[in-house]
Amino acid sequence: MANIARFDPFNSIVDDLFKGFFVRPVAYDTRTGYDSLRMTVDVSEKDGAYLVSAELPGVKKEDIQVQIDGAQVTLSAEVKREKDVAEGEQVLHSERAYGKVSRSFTLPQELDEAKAEAKFRDGVLELTLPKKAAAARKAITIQ
């Protein structure tokens, strides 16, 4: 069966009209603005460790910090503006973001900081965060 969609010529005309007047990227985020940095993170679990992948495009390896405190992980990064505007030069439009971004999240189990590993390549930070071994419970005898 064919789906029937209602055609509204007014909305179509208005949408086309405004698309040309306002220059902004397709993925404009109305809550934060397009010039804010975002860090997207994926977390998975495998073989007693958490695997974290964070996208950090345009960030240099030296400008990334990873902090672990128990089960809480904090990722911080800074994108520096590569080029200052020269005298006589005028920037007509710029969508490239720069500045600092930070992201914290808590994992279900405490992490072994000493065995944590980090790799950064092609704008993706990959962390391997082993879980801390659970402390053995000790039974106390009552006297």
Question: What is the tens place of the pLDDT at every residue in 37-88?
Answer: 678 999 999 989 999 999 998 888 999 999 999 999 999 998 877 677 778 8
**Cα-flanking dihedrals φ and ψ of residue 107, to 5°?**
-95, 160
Q: b/e for 106-118, b at 16 or more Cβ within 10 A?
A: ebeebbeeeebee
Q: How would you class 21 by CB atoms within 10 Å of its CB: exposed for 0-12, middle for 13-18, buried for 19 or more? A: exposed
Per-residue pLDDT band for 21 (boundaries 50, 70, 90) equals very low
